[in-house]
Structure 1
Amino acid sequence: MKKTIIFLLLTLLLISGCKDKSEEPGIIARVNGKPIYLTQLDYKYDLMHDGSAGFVPSVNQVRSEYGQILGDIIVQELVTQELQERNVPVSDQELKEAEDEVRSDYPEGAFEQILIEEYIDLNSWRRQLRYQLAMDKFFSQILRPEIKIDYKEAEDYYRTHLSDFYISAGYQFIMIKGFSRDLVSKGVELYRKGVSPDKISSRFKQVSVREIWIRNDQLPAGWESFVKELEPGKASPIIAQEREFICLILKEKKSATLLTPLQAYSAVEKVLLEKKLDDKFELWLKKKIAASKIKISKKLLPREQSKEAVQTEDKNAQTE
């Protein structure tokens, strides 16, 4: 996907026109007449640099990052327009359902409070959510049905990438970690009662519960004496580790093995599918760009290319 975005940016430098002096203030680009606003770029730029207080980037770095963000937004806008042309746009109901799903992870009123604390505009957040839904819909409903993966293709990939399907001997753990021995102990107790990891972490904010896989040769020396004789389903004592405490519950002790073609098929299919989706998307994007009228502000172009764009403006039929 990244090479696709790079291609898009390089293409835009060649076909895009400069912003008209009579353009409405705040509009940084147009995609087939649809405006893209500077506030959209500001929103994503702020998210990228959240938590980097005190860092002062150079002017060229800011211009470069804004250009990359604009490239992402243009791709999303082209996809959105394609869905509209095919009469399968992201509906308001789909947007609401996606938003409700995000909100369900927060206590009542907490979602709005987080937006306020993080200076996130709700409308900007919704616009970006709609873009993301459009991308997901385009890949799943438009591109995916056009892709076929036969068993022979998967078998060839398996045989030429055998090392990818060799599973080293190791341990599968549930690791419960926190800054308090007592809280970790309570987390272990809740896990044994069947409480989900997410609920445990929500109840005890300073406790994390996650599944980890560690190869035999990667097992920390401080853990070895605690887990060497551990049986599946059993928990280690609570281990003090620097300023943290952890408890390891053994899920499975695995011997080294090579997955059979049948066992590896789902993983192989996923790799092949991702590559084919990326290739098909890049092909679609090239054609879409060639058939579209895309104009961006010269302020986002590198200085040398900005001058070239101005010189090309009168010669290029796609520029204003």
Structure 2
Amino acid sequence: MKIARFLLWSCCAVLLLAACSSEGDDLGIVARVNGEPIYLSQLEFQHDLLHMDGAGAFVPTVEALRDEYGKILGDLIVLEMVHQELRSRGLEVTEEELAEQERKVRSDYPDDTFEQVLVEEYIDLAAWRERLRYHRSLEKFHELVLRPQVKIDYREADAYYREHIKDFQLPETLRVLVVRAADKSSLRKALKIWRDSTDPEAMQEVGNVAVHEITVRQRQLSSPWLEALQELPDGEASQIIEEKFGYEALVLLERLPAKLLDPTQAYPLVEQALTRRKVAQAFEKWLSGAWKRYHIEVSRHLLPVEESEETAVAGSGQEEAGAALDAATGDSEHSDADAVSPGETESSPASATDAEE
């Protein structure tokens, strides 16, 4: 799920913080939401994740850097507002929930490879956990606050199906078991269990082995996976593939032919698409009202240069500008897999027919 790029200088008056370095209490603080601080370290962490794949590829201009930081700060402010809204309703994310979310993410990584990823990608665990908390807060906000406001009429669903009939033409897809292990020996043992019993749960009894079933379009397969599955019969396992943090093999469960979903089959996807649209509208409505109730302060260093200078000349503590909200928000469709992996950014399905894990 992806939160909108929200331009902070929008549809409301924003009070300016004094230069962060001028007062000890504000050292390292780039914004406050109802007095709750957002730190420069949070901003830098999100910015580093944004450029993780292309680190060192280019040196941004000061203007570009200011713009990127401003957009990221806008996201962080909205997330903090969501967090505070949940807290006011007695729905904030508990430590137990956070621990469970982390457990789900860690379960995708055999043995200690989760920690290896953190080290390799220079990801601070505490900062990652804070990001996970925000992510779970947004999920709860959608599930418990926004989603109950959404109602879908059957006539609306039928009209959507007819208008988007091409979206329900499913291409050939594959059901695949992905089996991963930190070492070849454990992976071989797990594959032998599959050949003897075809039981995915039994495979996980081997130490350091993770097993996940996915459904994916053939055209979405990476080159190594496409090669491994190309001539593979149903029920058979591929050769072992060496990866950066261990080894994996693929078991082809089934090839599903292309077909057009009828209205009954398509309804869950139609409902999901309409819900996503209406939840986004409900979110915008909540946000426009929340701006009037929340007291937000922002460091002048992250405001556009022209506006910051004008404010300094005028001696005013308020800024006004335009807004943009391009989110695709909706019901969480990832279930266990929806927790944010290290270095991964939130995303939402591109269409109703995208493959789901």
TM-score range, shorter chain: 0.7 to 0.9
Q: Establish whether residue 9 from structure 1 lines up as the match of residue 11 from structure 2.
A: no
My pick for the range that moved more, 152-161 or 278-287, is 152-161
Aligned residue for 1:70?
Answer: 73
Aligned residue for 1:126?
Answer: 129
TM-score, normalisation: structure 2: 0.67
CA distance in 1, matches of 2:40, 2:238: 55
- Tell me the CA shift for residue 317 of structure 1: 10
- Tell me the CA shift for residue 123 of structure 1: 2.5
Aligned residue for 1:243?
Answer: none
The verdict on how the C-alpha distance between 1:172 and 1:25 changes in structure 2, with shifts beyond 3 A counting, is closer
CA distance in 2, matches of 1:316, 1:195: 60
Gap regions ≥5 residues in structure 2: 181-185, 220-226, 240-248, 321-357
CA distance in 2, matches of 1:191, 1:88: 43
CA distance in 2, matches of 1:83, 1:184: 43
CA offset digits 1:172-212 (Å, max 9, x no partner): 3648899xxxx999886555443379969x9689xx98644
Where do residues 230-245 of structure 1 align in structure 2 (5 Å cutoff)? 233=234
CA distance in 2, matches of 1:291, 1:148: 27
Partner SS, residue 134 of structure 1: helix
The verdict on how the C-alpha distance between 1:234 and 1:122 changes in structure 2, with shifts beyond 3 A counting, is closer
Aligned residue for 1:45?
Answer: 47
Aligned residue for 1:88?
Answer: 91
- Tell me the CA shift for residue 259 of structure 1: 1.8
Q: Establish whether residue 33 from structure 1 lines up as the match of residue 35 from structure 2.
A: yes
CA distance in 2, matches of 1:50, 1:197: 37
Aligned residue for 1:219?
Answer: none
CA offset digits 1:132-180 (Å, max 9, x no partner): 1111111101111111112121111112222222335x463648899xx
CA distance in 2, matches of 1:125, 1:112: 12
Q: Establish whether residue 273 from structure 1 lines up as the match of residue 275 from structure 2.
A: yes
Q: Is the 8 A contact 2:15 2:319 kept in 1?
A: no
Aligned residue for 1:242?
Answer: none
CA distance in 2, matches of 1:317, 1:204: 54
Structure 1 letter corresponding to 2:47: Y
Aligned residue for 1:314?
Answer: 316
Q: Is the 8 A contact 1:19 1:29 kept in 2?
A: yes
Structure 2 letter corresponding to 1:162: I
The verdict on how the C-alpha distance between 1:313 and 1:283 changes in structure 2, with shifts beyond 3 A counting, is farther
Q: Is the 8 A contact 2:30 2:40 kept in 1?
A: yes
Where do residues 274-313 of structure 1 align in structure 2 (5 Å cutoff)? 274-311=276-313, 313=315
CA distance in 1, matches of 2:173, 2:129: 42
TM-score, normalisation: structure 1: 0.74
- How many matched pairs? 302
Q: Is the 8 A contact 1:173 1:213 kept in 2?
A: no
Q: Is the 8 A contact 2:18 2:300 kept in 1?
A: no
Q: Which has the larger radius of gyration?
A: 1
Gap regions ≥5 residues in structure 1: 216-221, 239-245
Aligned residue for 2:17?
Answer: 19
Give the % identical residues.
39
Q: Establish whether residue 195 from structure 1 lines up as the match of residue 196 from structure 2.
A: no
My pick for the range that moved more, 21-30 or 276-285, is 21-30
Tell me: higher relative CO, structure 1 or 2? Use CA pairs within 8 A at least 6 residues apart. 2
The verdict on how the C-alpha distance between 1:268 and 1:280 changes in structure 2, with shifts beyond 3 A counting, is same
Q: Establish whether residue 262 from structure 1 lines up as the match of residue 264 from structure 2.
A: yes
